[in-house]
Structure formats: C-alpha cells, structure tokens
Amino acid sequence: MFRIMLVDDHPTMRMGLRLLLGQQPQLSVVGEANSAEEALPQIDALRPDVVVVDCQLPQQSGIALVSTLRARNHPTRLLALSAYDDEHYVRGMIAAGASGYLTKEDAPHNIVSAVLAVAEGNQWFSPAILATLEEEALDPHEPLPHSLTPREREVLPLVVAGESNRAIAIQLHISEKTVEKHLRSLFLKLGASSRVEVATRAMQADLCSPLPD
C-alpha cells in the first residue's frame, strides 16, 4: 500500500482528497499539513511515498517545499495539485522536481490515476498542463533526434522497451532519481502524459535511431 500525504491550506480540499484517495485499496492517507513549515517534519517522520502539494501555501510556496525535499535527496515523490495552470507555477514545480502536475478541476479518477502513477515512479501531467507547455513540445519541422540530450537518447529506447525506472538506472549506471529527471524532460518535450505515449511518439518520430555523426 502506498502512503500519501496532503499539503494544502484549504481544509475542505484536504478532506475531499482524503475521502477520494481513502477509497482506493492501494492508497492510505497518513498525514496532512496546511503549510510547508508544518509539512516538513511530518514528511521526515512519516516517510510518505507521495506528497500531494498545492503551489500556493502560506509563507513558503509549494515550489519551495518541493525544492527543499529534492535538495535533501528525500525519497518522497511530489505531485502538484493546484488551482493554477499558469506557466510560471507549472514550470516552477517541474524544475523543482515534481513528478506530475494536476489542476483541481481534473476529474477525480484522473487524480487517483495520477497519485498511483507517481507512487509507482512514473510521471503524470493533466491535459490542461500539457496544453500550457505545448510550445516546448518537439516541433515536427525540426530535426527531432537532435532535440534530445545524449542521456535522454539513452533513456528513451529503454522506456520504449518497457523497462522500469529501476532497470533503466541499473543499465545506465545512474540513480532512479536521475532517471525520473530525464523522464520528466521527455514527457514535456514529447507532449506525452504517459510512458505509453512517450514510446508511441518516439517510435513515430524515429527518435530511437542513432544520432548521425
């Protein structure tokens, strides 16, 4: 069972999320906080698998909370769930190290799916967020293979082959956190919301072939 913590300064929102996620046999809500300051010691003590965090919190922002946890190399994964789909918040959360970003207008089943995906080490972005970032998706008129970094070109074929983050990390001699970082970039560059979409778009664009000399 995956352990979930909720960080949002709106008690009604936390209650709704607790009820929604608590109905899932794979999920258990183990803690709640209304600020980053209140959340940090709980996260250290409870060691949740996923923290669902709002962008706007009293005093420190959700982005600051994610950055702090990533700077500590904390194993907890972060999922942004915000009322805002503004580019500033989205890019800030992703740059800080969040594994996904949803809006509070997303359907309940999408929220559940996102939490499960992030808990399992995957990324998840709602369609609205992908639309916000679509200008960074690969342009079909560009020389696509050169739009990816060398390391992304190493990770991508392994994703297409269905390898897990752990298997990719072992094969490339890097950490799972580094794999997740490259996957976040691939999701955004390819405008994909799942590993299946990443694989499909990579194959369509022939991104798994070797780079020309």
Condensed to tens digits (0 to 9), the pLDDT of residues 149-205 reads 888 888 988 888 888 888 899 999 998 888 888 888 887 777 666 777 777 777 777
Average pLDDT over residues 71-91: 84
**What mean pLDDT is reported for the chain?**
83
Identify the residue with better confidence: 104 or 50: 50
Residue 111 φ/ψ, nearest 5 degrees:
-65, -45
Strands 2-7 and 27-33, by their bridges, are parallel
Per CATH, which fold does 2-132 belong to? Rossmann fold (3.40.50)
Q: In this predicted structure, what is the pLDDT of residue 37?
A: 93
Q: In this predicted structure, what is the pLDDT of residue 130?
A: 74
Element (H, E) at 50: strand 50-53
**Highest mean pLDDT: which range of 76-80, 124-128, 139-143, 164-168:** 76-80
Q: Strand order of the sheet with strand 50-53? A: 27-33, 2-7, 50-53, 77-82, 100-103, 124-125
Lowest-confidence range among 51-60, 79-88, 89-98, 134-143? 134-143
Domain boundaries, the chain: 2-132, 137-204
Q: In this predicted structure, what is the pLDDT of residue 7?
A: 96
Average pLDDT over residues 99-107: 88
Structure confidence by residue, pLDDT tens digits, 42-70: 999 999 999 999 988 988 888 889 988 98
Positive or negative, the CA dihedral 54, 81, 179, 183 is negative
Q: Considering the domain 137-204, what is its CATH architecture?
A: Orthogonal Bundle (1.10)
Residue from 137, 126, 123 nearest 181 by CA: 123
